Structure 1
Amino acid sequence: MPTPKFILELREKIGHDLLWLTGLTAVVLNDADEVLLVRRADNGRWSLVAGILEPGEQPAIGLIREIQEETAVEAAIDRLVSLESLPPASYPNGDQVQFLDICFRCRPLRGAPRVNDDESVDVRWWPLNALPDLTDREHTCIKHALSPDPTPIYLTPES
């Protein structure tokens, strides 16, 4: 997965220190009770479409861009699903990151899913009742995106 230029420029200044980034996650659902997934080139795992918000970019616009770049599917945002701070993580090269992730429920407008960049090795619709191995967090995102309650999920002092 190519690292955005702005991150490479920041890494020149801060090295491997913790970098706070805004992540975007899409739960793209079609009318056939399927979710759009990508098989990542870096680790071979199936996952929801995700990416990093570029400086100055609006979250919904950035996510629509990511979906199209990675899958060739044009999509629209239905609603905000969740806003959460993910745990810190490390990349194999030693870079430390932590994401504030914004997850949206989306719907496809047009386009057949296909590998559209070098970040994925496969892209397809998966039936919700026969999903591949996904992370617990991705299952949670899908569950909340399917909920009839449109209230976004976020932690509060009362949570």
Structure 2
Amino acid sequence: MSLHADALAVLTDWHAPTPAQEALRVRYVEHLRAQPEGTWRHCFPDHLTAGTLVVDATADHVLLNLHRKARRWFAFGGHCEPGDTTLAGVAHREALEESGLASLDFDPVPAHLDEHAVAFCDPRGEVHHLDVRFVARAPIAAEPSTSEESLDVRWWPVGALPEGLEAEMHDLIAIARARTLGRP
């Protein structure tokens, strides 16, 4: 199965938890049906990306990276690359590469969708990342390291997150906590 086929199957079968998430799910599926290259960075102006929010073993802390280009705190994620065969695999790979962690307890079911405009992604102009977000739990006492794509990687207490964190990230954090420990 190709990455495109996997992404289409995953998003077609995913049960969105809210009407807003369902609208995004439908948008992503329509994009993939219309764009055979819709998972790849060269698909302009929209393409799928995948990411992972990492929580600690207690789900009381989240691991975020200060993105080098955006200069804002985000979960880990990025573009699909040659050799990627599943959307979950993209998200898992990106989380390991960008966090410096050796392993993660990765949940392969999408947790959240987010469409966002990115001005610095493509020289042709603004693109929209159709981001599919997953959740993973880090091993106890996991020590991250900063990759070349980040200015910093840091654990943040859920009750003291960095200022300016997007509302969608707060939603994803709540979903991650509910999935990993059964609590908001």
How high is the TM-score relative to the length of structure 2? Answer: 0.62
Q: Which residue of 1 aligns with 2:154?
A: 124
From 133, 136, 139, the equivalent of 1:106 is 136
Tell whether 2:166 aligns with 1:140.
Answer: no
List runs of 5+ in structure 2 lacking aligned partners: 1-39
- Please tell me the root mean square deviation across aligned C-alpha atoms, in Å: 2.6
Q: Helix, strand or coil for the counterpart of 2:62?
A: strand
Whether the 8 Å contact between 2:51 and 2:76 is mirrored in structure 1 is yes
Rounded Cα–Cα distance in structure 1 between residues aligned with 2:149 and 2:132: 20
Deviation at residue 88 of structure 1 after TM alignment: 4.2
Rounded Cα–Cα distance in structure 2 between residues aligned with 1:107 and 1:95: 35
Deviation at residue 82 of structure 1 after TM alignment: 1.9
Structure number with the higher strand fraction is 1
Rounded Cα–Cα distance in structure 2 between residues aligned with 1:54 and 1:47: 20
Structure 1 stretches of 4+ moved >6 Å: none
Alignment of structure 1 residues 1-159 onto 2, 5 Å: 7=41, 10=42, 18-32=44-58, 33-55=60-82, 56-73=84-101, 74-78=103-107, 79-84=109-114, 86-91=115-120, 93-109=123-139, 111-115=142-146, 117-133=147-163, 134-147=165-178
Whether the 8 Å contact between 2:51 and 2:95 is mirrored in structure 1 is no
Greater RCO structure (CA 8 Å; 6+ sep): 1
Specify whether residues 68 and 148 from structure 1 end up closer, same or farther in structure 2 by C-alpha distance, changes over 3 A only: closer
Rounded Cα–Cα distance in structure 2 between residues aligned with 1:100 and 1:118: 23
Deviation at residue 43 of structure 1 after TM alignment: 3.0
| Aligned pairs, number | 134
List runs of 5+ in structure 1 lacking aligned partners: 1-5, 150-159
Structure number with the higher helix fraction is 2
